[in-house]
Structure 1
Amino acid sequence: MSEQPTVSVIIPHFNDLVNLDICLAALRAQTYPAGRLQIIVADNASPQGLDAVQAAAGDRAQVVLVEERGAGPARNGGVAKATGEVLAFIDSDCVADPRWIEEGVAALSRFDFVGGQVTVLVSDEQRMTPVEAWERVFAFDFKTYIEKKGFTGSGNLFCPRSLFETVAGFRAGISEDYEWSKRAQSCGFKLGYAPKAIVGHPARRNWEELTRKWRRLNIETYGLSAGRPGRRLRWFLRSLLLPLSAVAHTPKVLTNPGLHTFGQRLGALRVLYAIRLWRVVDSWAVLGRDIQQVREGRPGVESLGADAGAAGRS
């Protein structure tokens, strides 16, 4: 790559024009030379129509239509139109720090592909909802994802175009960022954390938004184990550990500096225990649907993952 490589920023989008406008405004304020940037909005057939998305983007981005459902296919469709030496992936509801691209590109001198830091944005620091407080503690911990779990989320990801072509695109119907990161590392590429490449992601505010996220993640995570021996037994046993994990994570809530009042900590604890119990029940439901569909000769439940993961709020 050149010293200041050309960068294509890929933004999957579905039915979220307000946040897309905020995302594009932040990208326009980047410190990276504008002449070295290409910004692509990969629209996943939003109900407003492509003309409305193009009107919202204006001259700030190129808009392409990707009809195959899912954030992964939307990103792949954006890459197909990309011309940059580096690909930078961000979600349409994220807000990039002004130095996001500059820091992400710089980190590629130390690693083959990188994920950056994601901060959780709340509407009012002093009046967080319980779900916002929980998200402030547990959501988007990219440092842990990268350094301990070996993957980066695709909402803050940088890689050379050549690497992406070697690894191939994101897959639909599963946790595409986890699977892609593991596939890249199996090709011999080194993943690193870029703490100064920062984007903000709005917290989910209520129980409905939170369970919608975890319903999708349960399906996609179950899909990762397709074809593995004993997958159903392991999934069942894994679900039984979720309530115990809530106990283990209680100190994290009580000591987290992102929460400012006792009420916020109490609200986050209530959500912690409630969501872990909810995930047990939903995990069993995913398992039950898979068994039933296989008995009926239909595709397994992981086939639902593409629709569940349409390119909208991550």
Structure 2
Amino acid sequence: MATPKPKPQPKAAIIIPHYNDPDRLTRCLEALSRNDLTGVEVLVVDNNSPQPPTDVQARFADTRFVVETEKGAAAARNRGVAETIAPLLFFIDADCVAADDWVTKAHEVAPTADLIGGRVDVFDETPPPRSGAEAFEAVFAFNFQNYIEVQGFTGSGNLVTTRKVFEDVGGFRGGVSEDLDWSTRAVSKGYRLIYRDDLVVSHPSRSDWAALRHKWLRLTQELFGVNGNTPRDRAKWALRALAMPISAVVHLPKVLGSDKLDGWGEKLRAAGTLFRLRFQRMIWMLRQAMGQSI
């Protein structure tokens, strides 16, 4: 009997952290299946979901599923890297939808820099009209070009890098804003970070105030984790907190002039959410600066 040929080693690995969201994971994998996956390993790292995605796993037989019991997307992404030997690493989140040419573009852009962050478009999962949260997200969510070209970091929901870079920088760290922390560490080591508008995924907007509040509570906790905890750090954080209402006024023209919103109803709902969220963040940040939990 002939010995079966060993499978060729993958040139790239797509790493998808997942936790208890099988419908969106299915949508993510369906979108990836429309891409050219030649030489690419797709790896889902389930973060020990209470309901394991067994139905999804059965449907996508060519996708590899592993379980990471340590909680957090950072641990899941690190496990994904450890599970593959592919030299190229493509990161996407389970609730994202890749464009049909996302993998092809990822291969094209990989040689151009050490870290490449792409565009993240926002779409609504509910029928119109938009809620205040959806309208706010349509204007402000996922401005990766600003993150990369102005603030000097990128997210990991649409990220291309190499194993060599990842191993030199080290893994993602939990308990902080892991995207900001990891890409900032990479840039500080001299690695080049660029933005590519043609590397596109889409992400659903938060549909209501509760979901938007939960998102920003988590981000505020993570950002405080990388802020520092000295008295001087806390004082700077308090000043940033007090500037939150001012920032709402500064950003109001962006809302009112946005061509992403349909009519004055959506614009006014987005403006109301802008002020509500900035005042909420001010309260959270002041509590953090005083050593209180949020």
TM tier relative to shorter chain:
over 0.9
Q: What TM-score do you get using the length of structure 1 for normalisation?
A: 0.86
Picking from 276, 279, 282, the partner of 1:280 is: 282
Picking from 45, 49, 53, the partner of 2:48 is: 45
Partners of 1:124 and 1:65 in 2: how far apart?
31
Corresponding residue of 1:220: 222
Partners of 2:15 and 2:40 in 1: how far apart?
11
Deviation, structure 1 residue 58: 2.9
Partners of 2:40 and 2:182 in 1: how far apart?
24
Picking from 58, 67, 78, the partner of 2:60 is: 58
Name the SS of the counterpart of 1:15 in structure 2: coil
Paired residue total: 285
Partners of 2:90 and 2:124 in 1: how far apart?
25
Partners of 1:193 and 1:231 in 2: how far apart?
30
Partners of 2:174 and 2:126 in 1: how far apart?
35
Q: Which runs of 5+ in 1 are unaligned?
A: 293-300, 305-314
Q: In structure 2, what residue type is equivalent to 1:18?
A: D
The 4+ residue runs of structure 1 with deviation greater than 6 A are none
Picking from 22, 30, 33, the partner of 2:27 is: 22
Corresponding residue of 2:246: 244
Partners of 1:58 and 1:98 in 2: how far apart?
17
Compared with structure 1, are the counterparts of its residues 19 and 50 closer, same or farther at alpha carbon in structure 2 (3 Å cutoff)? closer
Q: In structure 1, what residue type is equivalent to 2:68?
A: V
Deviation, structure 1 residue 85: 1.6
Corresponding residue of 2:7: none
Q: Which runs of 5+ in 2 are unaligned?
A: 1-9
Q: In structure 1, what residue type is equivalent to 2:20?
A: N
Corresponding residue of 1:262: 264
Q: Greater relative contact order: 1 or 2 (C-alpha under 8 angstroms, separation 6 or more)?
A: 1
Partners of 2:219 and 2:125 in 1: how far apart?
25
Compared with structure 1, are the counterparts of its residues 105 and 248 closer, same or farther at alpha carbon in structure 2 (3 Å cutoff)? same
C-alpha RMSD of matched pairs (Å): 1.8
Partners of 1:124 and 1:182 in 2: how far apart?
35
**Contact conserved, 1:50 with 1:65, CA < 8 A, in 2?**
no
**Contact conserved, 2:149 with 2:195, CA < 8 A, in 1?**
yes
Deviation, structure 1 residue 124: 5.7
**Contact conserved, 2:126 with 2:207, CA < 8 A, in 1?**
no
Partners of 2:54 and 2:106 in 1: how far apart?
31
Deviation, structure 1 residue 227: 4.9
Compared with structure 1, are the counterparts of its residues 266 and 60 closer, same or farther at alpha carbon in structure 2 (3 Å cutoff)? farther
Compared with structure 1, are the counterparts of its residues 227 and 233 closer, same or farther at alpha carbon in structure 2 (3 Å cutoff)? closer
**Contact conserved, 1:204 with 1:210, CA < 8 A, in 2?**
yes
Q: In structure 1, what residue type is equivalent to 2:38?
A: G
Corresponding residue of 1:311: none
Q: In structure 2, what residue type is equivalent to 1:151?
A: F
**Contact conserved, 2:228 with 2:234, CA < 8 A, in 1?**
no
Q: How does 1:167-186 map to 2 (within 5 A)?
A: 167-186=169-188
What is the identity percentage for the equivalent residue pairs of Structure 1 and Structure 2?
Answer: 41
Deviation, structure 1 residue 287: 3.6
Q: What TM-score do you get using the length of structure 2 for normalisation?
A: 0.92
Instruction: Please tell me whether residue 187 in structure 1 is matched to residue 189 in structure 2.
Output: yes
Name the SS of the counterpart of 1:222 in structure 2: helix
Which stretch shifts more, 250-259 or 225-234? Answer: 225-234
| CA distances 1:48-91 after superposition (whole Å, capped 9, x unpaired) | 13645633x53141111111111111100111112322101111
